[in-house]
Chain A
Amino acid sequence: MRLTLNVWRQKGKDDAGGFVKYDVPDVSEHMSFLEMLDVLNQRLILKGEAPVAFDHDCREGICGMCGFMINGQAHGPLRGTTVCQLHMRHYKDGDELWLEPWRAAAFPVVRDLAVDRSAFDKIVAAGGYVSVSTGSAPDGNAIPVPKEIADRAMDAAACIGCGACVASCPNASASLFTGAKIAHLGFLPQGQPERERRALAMVAQMDLEQFGGCTLFGECQDACPKGISIDVIARMNRDYWLSALFSAPPSAGAAASG
């Protein structure tokens, strides 16, 4: 089949960008979307033009590195699918597609379709963990975790950090990402000791990174390749305001002995 691509080209973070039209005449329906771009790039290189830059790595939908907008939809039209797993059989001859990078103040463009998502790392660094240094763990079965709880924690932990939630959110909010991590650790007994601090620190960091707020449009959960539900946002909000208003102040004794 033959496709027309309008690809956002932008040399660097501070350069102006714009769409460039490409004609791709020989697309096989068995190609993945990224393989189709590979073919386009091979041709551009031989013509002496710069290939289209896009992030990708595992190409099996788990590393979270790939992702851009196809006709305004994060990772393209298929539900539960990253763009590396989207195959061309879902398009037809003559289709015209618009490829844009994730757009958010917190995700500056690196080049073309590649963006800088280090804001996500900073949110995790602010508190998305259990503070347990290597060697200090009790036996794995010392604390039972009900299967239903472990399953729900796993549902939230499935997040691949691709940024489709931010990209598709009309507010460019990172609430689904942050909420997923808070929910994952908040479900488990191991996450309880730091639950209050975690919510406070991660939400504060999310705001610092210039993400917008959540107004529950629900767009993110439809765009999420792992189908994470906006229920995690409710959990995050609850943990946050309960901690912000009711967490106990530090003990005076701890300060004296510290």
Chain B
Amino acid sequence: MQLDAKIPEGPIEKKWDSHRFHLKLVNPANKRKYTVLVVGTGLAGGSAAATLAELGYNVKSFCIQDSPRRAHSIAAQGGINAAKNYQNDGDSIYRLFYDTVKGGDYRAREANVYRLAQISVNIIDQCVAQGVPFAREYGGALANRSFGGAQVSRTFYARGQTGQQLLLGAYQALERQVQAGKVKMYPRTEMLDLVLIDGKARGIVTRNLVTGKMETHVGDAVVLATGGYGNTFFLSTNAKGSNATAIWRAHKRGALFANPCFTQIHPTCIPVSGDYQSKLTLMSESLRNDGRIWVPKKKGDTRSPDKIPDGERDYYLERRYPSFGNLVPRDVASRAAKAACDEGRGVGPSGLGVYLDFGDAIKRLGQRAIAERYGNLFDMYERITGDDPYKVPMRIYPAIHYTMGGLWVDYNLMSTIPGMYVLGEANFSDHGANRLGASALMQGLADGYFIIPYTIGDYLATTKLAKVEADHAAVKDAEKGVKARLDKLLAAKGSRTVDSFHRELGKLMWESCGMARNKKGLEENLSAIPALKEQFWKDVRVGGAGEEFNNELEKAGRVADYFELAELMCRDALHREESCGGHFREEHQTPDGEARRDDENFAYAAAWEWKGEGEKPELHKEPLQFNEVHLTQRSYK
């Protein structure tokens, strides 16, 4: 298979404009004859469904939650980047583009990233017009902050709830179209398979999560905006329901999966407190602006933090990275914390934690100033841990947060299956090997509001789509396959719960395919994961029936997919013999422990093709060309 990214010709700043002109249009009167199925209602899916409906297409929108307003985009705290340069501090579209490619450790497609930076300014305008209550200055202008170590202030925010407010904007736009009759909403509905007819995506098989009934929806194109696959690790900052089943089913139907090993670890999360832990809670990265990170110098020091004098503390980030100190990028901060804990200097009952200490900041600025900046975060920390961070240093530890990898898409956001588009975190496109803070919201909304509405029209206008009957053989086949799989899960009647398998898988992945990876660990995983998968199918206990509300059955189906995806992640991590961004291979580091990229051999997107059960997937490479950005080694010393 030859991967064609369909990157338009011309200078980078003209590519999107000229491409939009060359895209074919659907006659306004004909739009209502097309039906688009949009799966997922987060920033990408919600904005896409609303905008496609505004244009006149019939949209069917699906989500697993009870309302489209609950998608996990809602949990994003920090903000959304845009190259508005309202602060007059030297920002520009080109700078945002450059920062994003560099921050992604040069593993993203230049043309996509440039378009993202261009569109970023429209997103802010659109959201303001919708009534998103962004933070404002006293004069009434939009406020900005600098985020994630950026040198300019380009992040727009709505308190610590930016994701929520942006999502509500998209949700409200979506509900407006529901009212107008252009969107039919299917909440509590899970996509379990993709239907291909004549090689094109023409429908999805779904399960109603309340009644358990299966249904097939046919349409002219399918848009997947189902988020990332961080929950492969069991413990992550993702919502409990976030899952990879939709993209994995599409992958097994022929969509290539790109860069699955690019996972982002967030350094400031609340540590695990026990084996009942169900998820990890992220604390905004902004805490590192004033907090100092340290561990005791001595191994196994169990004294309480206030009993450890300053001289016996190791402020390891300040020591190792004197110029960036506590503000080094997410991946660097995370690995340094792991290293300290691996040396036996971790703190807290589990030994998997480091201190984030505001003692000095409180002395310098006063408790009031700190409360103004971080009050809500401190409250949240206290609610969860029972410790008062004004008095006792916070304990933090890295956790899986975001997945840069995803289904491969071309410049039009179309996967390798004609008629199937992938948006937001579910695709692999814009963040390379590492995502910058406040860029996920930007990408989701760019894809949904401003890219898919153009590109999908070109496909519909230029493709001959025969009418599909609900009893088409391909539909029946897909339905039969889904039902057989659910029956098999129910029939196992084994002795272990779904969660116990998922936890075990998560542990394997966290140990060997988490913050740091090596050949040995990955190879071990490649035999341990299939073995665990086999055991799962024999010994899982689901209970209940298929045609009823059955949360365990939902989880079982998702976990079954995680085994296969986890295997692919390990395989990808093993093949990528370099360290870049969120992917750190212990074999590939500089003498002082920094990541070493290999641009000669690995400046490509690795897109994997499913070859069947038990078969090795096939690797396809999309070479990445850097005409604008100069490749350098990142250094934060």
Contact = CB atoms under 8 A, between A and B. Distances in A.
CB–CB under 8 A between A and B in the complex? Answer: yes
Interface of A: 12, 28-32, 34-36, 38-39, 42, 45-46, 48-51, 53, 55-65, 78, 81, 85, 87, 89, 110-111, 114, 116-118, 120-121, 124-126, 128-141, 143-147, 150-151, 153-154, 157-158, 160-161, 184-185, 187-188, 190-191
Nearest to B141: A141
A32 B497 CA distance: 20
B293 interface: no
Nearest to B134: A150
Nearest to A80: B379
Contacts of A56: 240
B25 interface: no
Contact of B549 (A110, A141, A147): A110
A147 B137 contact: yes
Given A39-B276, A46-B495, A117-B66, A140 B175 contact: no
Given A129-B173, A157-B165, A63 B70 contact: yes
A150 B135 contact: yes
Contacts of A139: 125
A138 B129 contact: yes
A142 B70 CA distance: 31
Contact of B72 (A58, A89, A120, A188): A58
B178 interface: yes
A131 B548 CA distance: 38
Interface string B381-392: 001111000000
A140 B171 CA distance: 20
B3 interface: no
B136 A150 contact: yes
A34 B278 contact: yes
B171 A124 contact: yes
B352 to A, nearest CB: 14
Given A128-B172, A134-B51, A136-B129, A117 B67 contact: yes
Contact of B67 (A121, A134, A157, A185): A121
Contact of B131 (A61, A135, A185): A185
A137 B210 CA distance: 39
A117 B541 CA distance: 30
A117 B69 CA distance: 11
A207 to B, nearest CB: 17
Interface string B137-177: 11111100000000000000011010011001001110110
A50 B495 CA distance: 15
A120 B187 CA distance: 13
Contact of A144 (B130, B140, B175): B140
Nearest to B71: A63
B67 A161 contact: yes
Contacts of A140: 84, 124-125, 127-128, 134, 142
A121 B175 contact: yes
A251 B84 CA distance: 40
B159 A62 contact: no
B86 A141 contact: yes
A53 B497 CA distance: 16
A188 B133 CA distance: 8
A143 B139 CA distance: 11
Contacts of A143: 128
A45 B384 contact: no
Contacts of B453: 134
A191 B178 CA distance: 20
B303 to A, nearest CB: 21
Contacts of B543: 45, 48-51
A67 to B, nearest CB: 11
The 7 closest A-B pairs by CB, nearest first: A144-B140, A137-B129, A129-B172, A125-B175, A137-B125, A153-B133, A150-B136
A65 B281 CA distance: 16
Nearest to A58: B239
A57 B70 contact: yes
B46 to A, nearest CB: 12
Nearest to B238: A58
Max chain B Cβ within 10 angstroms of own Cβ: one of A89, A120, A134: A134
A85 B176 CA distance: 32
A57 B72 contact: yes
A63 B74 contact: yes
14 contacts: A28-B273, A42-B497, A45-B543, A49-B543, A57-B241, A63-B70, A65-B66, A114-B66, A120-B67, A128-B175, A140-B127, A144-B139, A150-B136, A161-B67
Contacts of B176: 125, 129, 131
A64 B126 CA distance: 25
A190 B131 contact: yes
B633 interface: no
A89 B542 CA distance: 31
A134 B50 contact: yes
Given A130-B172, A132-B130, 19 more contacts: A31-B274, A32-B384, A53-B551, A57-B72, A63-B239, A85-B383, A87-B386, A117-B67, A118-B67, A129-B130, A129-B172, A133-B51, A134-B51, A140-B124, A147-B137, A147-B140, A157-B168, A158-B161, A161-B67
B65 A65 contact: yes
A187 B151 CA distance: 34
B563 interface: no
Contacts of B541: 45-46
A45 B159 CA distance: 41
B185 interface: yes
A11 B552 CA distance: 15
Nearest to B278: A35
Given A57-B240, A128-B172, A51 B552 contact: yes
Given A121-B69, A131-B176, A134-B450, A188 B131 contact: yes
Contacts of B548: 12
B625 interface: no
A187 B131 CA distance: 9
Interface in B77-124: 84, 86, 122, 124
B141 A144 contact: yes
Contacts of A129: 130-131, 172-173, 175-176
A110 B138 CA distance: 47
Given A111-B549, A160-B164, A55 B276 contact: no
A191 B169 CA distance: 12
B277 interface: yes
A254 B282 CA distance: 52
Nearest to A37: B278
Interface string B272-299: 0110111101100000000000000000
